[in-house]
Copies of this chain bind each other. A is one copy, B any other.
Amino acid sequence: MIKHTPRTQHAPQTQRTQHTEHTPRIQHAQYTPKRYGAQRTVKNTADKEPIVRFCPLGGFEEVGRNCVFFEYQNEIIVVDVGIQFPEEETPGIDFIIPNVACLEPKKRNIKAIILTHGHYDHIHALPYLIEKLGNPIIYTGLLTKALVEKRFQEFPNLPKLKFQLVKNGDKFKLSEHFNVEFFDLGHTIPDEMGIILDTPIGNVVHFGDFRVERNIKGEAIKTEVFERLGKVDIHSVFLDSTNADVLGTSISEEAVENELEKLFKNAPGRTIITTFASLIDRIAILFKIAERTGKKIALNGRSVKSNVEIAKRLGYIKNPRGLEIPIEEISKYPDNKIVILTTGGQGEPNSGLIRIANGEHRNMRFKSQDNVIFSSSVVPGNERSIQTLQDNISRQVNEIYNYKFLDIHSSGHANKADLTLVMKMLAKTKFFVPANAYYFKRKSCAQTAWSVGIPKTNTPLVDNGQICELTKNDFKLTNERVPVNYVMVDGLGVGDVEEVVLRDRLMLAEEGMVVVIATIDRQTGKLLKNPDIISRGFILLKESKTLLDDIRNKLKNVLIRIPFNQKPDPDYIKGLIRDQIGQLLYIKTKRRPMILPVLIEL
């Protein structure tokens, strides 16, 4: 820890090349799964060299679902408990949470949960997992705490949370073997905290999500924190790799502010602006600009209202009397005095912006002199819905601005050149661990490290669920794996949507399904009535009389050939029906709907 005498006495490392003299430390052995925890007592005995075990439960093969833990003997520290948003392969799912099955049996060992900041992909899975994690003390900043508490209001039956509020420079003893120090980092939300975890094998630094702040000239600012860390012996640093594959540096937030101020000033009518509701820093700036340009600001959309409410209460957003007005009152002011901050920049269904665009908003419609500003990036997967939305809006308004044309959005993550800068500054750090993104981006982070002279052996690329053994001079990737398969939240269900259900959903979406119902005499197997056939998502069978007849005839043919006096297996009959009808439909239509045969035996 800064200013501490390191618990483990590292020899100072001044030359990076010294790494390469060793044999490779990261051993990518063949994957032979072992039961997690086996031999643990042998490995971790006190008389041997201490080993801290590290494992990511999420966030290392995706952007989202961030959750890692550190373990030493019977002490566990968890960092972040976030969600991941659903993907194409998980239709209908609300979101995905980390799999903590390996921690649940040892929940008494969990001494602390540290939350780096208040974004959903770092905190939002807590309500589902807090009991499984033994409800330990949560160490986090003021705004993060408020956002967690807000979230927990939706879960009244959960146990009361225990918080330890932290701020820049705070140090805490978490357990017998773990201490922590918190430091401020720049991201896009107040109270983003990096940590120095003081462990039996040395200092481990986790940056959470971060960016290097830049002034309007593009120069790095607020780099003191990296300077200080550069003087500390660090075993390993975990680096946000979200933008590691983006060239150059991140855009200055000051540049964004200037650009937005120009747009506000020159707007011929109202300014409708959308950004992520979680970018509290940006929203605070929008309030400032609105004040400076003499405009009123109205909020639209639940999440932005809720976040602004919290941030105002805690003083992170300044709202001088009369600046914010209810959206019901916008018509009381001249159009060019109005700013509307709304949700929906990703084209989310039912969001604030879509309701305005579709003419379904209770209080407003677009006007031809409106300007619409998308002060946000495009989340991968949302390209088409955003395009459709912008298409719709551009028919109704004066002008749309997005980050492709103007510097009106800056990401909260360090770009390649920012990472280079930080890596160079952390002169006494051994291992640079690409974190918080999928493999391609993490490899980009590692390549950046290689390019500044850090050897390949010191940039471990860890998979979700892979146990790593950290010793004083080593960061070893083992063959041990803990389960990290998706745990999905869908409605009230947590973990009850399994892969087979998702496969069915995807299959149904492709070609639909056909239910074939044969009501037969249990003894003779004779059809008691004309087979019932229902289909959805296939073709309109009602309009395809011939095909319906074909299916019925095929079914009759199948049933005739079954010797019912020998009590055939219903599953066998169903399989036969499925195959035969499936084949028939493929020949007739070149499609493969899901066939669901039902035998009603009476």
Instruction: Write the residues of chain A forming the contact surface with B, with a CB cutoff of 8 angstroms.
Output: 61, 87-88, 91-92, 245-247, 380-381, 383-385, 387, 390-391, 394-395, 400, 404-405, 438-440, 443, 490-493, 496-498, 500-502, 504-506, 508-513, 515, 517, 519, 528-529, 532, 534, 536-540, 543-544, 588-591, 594, 596, 598, 600, 602
Contact = CB atoms under 8 A, between A and B. Distances in A.
8 contacts: A91-B509, A92-B510, A246-B404, A380-B383, A381-B384, A491-B589, A493-B539, A505-B508
B512 A501 contact: yes
Contacts of A405: 247
Contacts of A387: 380, 438, 440
Contact of A508 (B385, B438, B493, B509): B509
Contacts of A391: 61, 438-440
A439 B506 contact: no
B519 A536 contact: no
A540 B488 CA distance: 14
B540 A602 contact: no
B519 A510 contact: no
A254 to B, nearest CB: 22
Nearest to A497: B539
Contacts of A504: 512, 536-537
Q: How many copies does the complex hold?
A: 2
Contacts of A380: 383-384, 387
Quick one: which of A496, A500, A508 has the most chain B CB within 10 A? A508
Contacts of A438: 387, 391
Contacts of A600: 517, 519, 529, 532, 600
Contacts of A536: 504, 508, 513, 594, 596
A602 B440 contact: no
Contacts of A385: 88
Contacts of A506: 509
Contacts of A509: 91-92, 505-506, 508-509
**6 nearest CB pairs, A to B:** A491-B590, A509-B509, A508-B508, A505-B537, A92-B510, A504-B537
A384 B544 CA distance: 37
Nearest to A519: B600
Given A387-B440, A443-B394, A515-B515, A529 B602 contact: yes
Residue among A400, A536, A588 with most chain B CB within 10 A:
A536
A161 to B, nearest CB: 24
A248 to B, nearest CB: 11
Contact of A519 (B246, B501, B591, B602): B602
Given A505-B510, A509-B509, A515-B515, A540 B498 contact: yes
B404 A247 contact: yes
Given A387-B438, A539-B497, A91 B589 contact: no
Given A92-B509, A381-B383, A395-B439, 7 more contacts: A380-B383, A380-B384, A504-B512, A505-B509, A506-B509, A515-B596, A529-B602
B596 A534 contact: yes
Nearest to A92: B510
B512 A508 contact: yes
A384 B529 contact: no
Nearest to A534: B596
A310 to B, nearest CB: 25
Most central of A390, A509, A510, A532 by chain B CB within 10 Å? A509
Contacts of A400: 440
A509 B536 CA distance: 12
Contacts of A384: 87-88, 380-381
Contacts of A538: 501
A92 B511 contact: yes
A596 B515 CA distance: 10
Interface centre among A245, A491, A588 (most CB of B within 10 A): A491
A437 to B, nearest CB: 10
A401 to B, nearest CB: 12
Contact of A501 (B381, B497, B500, B540): B540
Contacts of A598: 515, 517, 532, 534
A594 B385 CA distance: 24
B594 A528 contact: no
B539 A390 contact: no
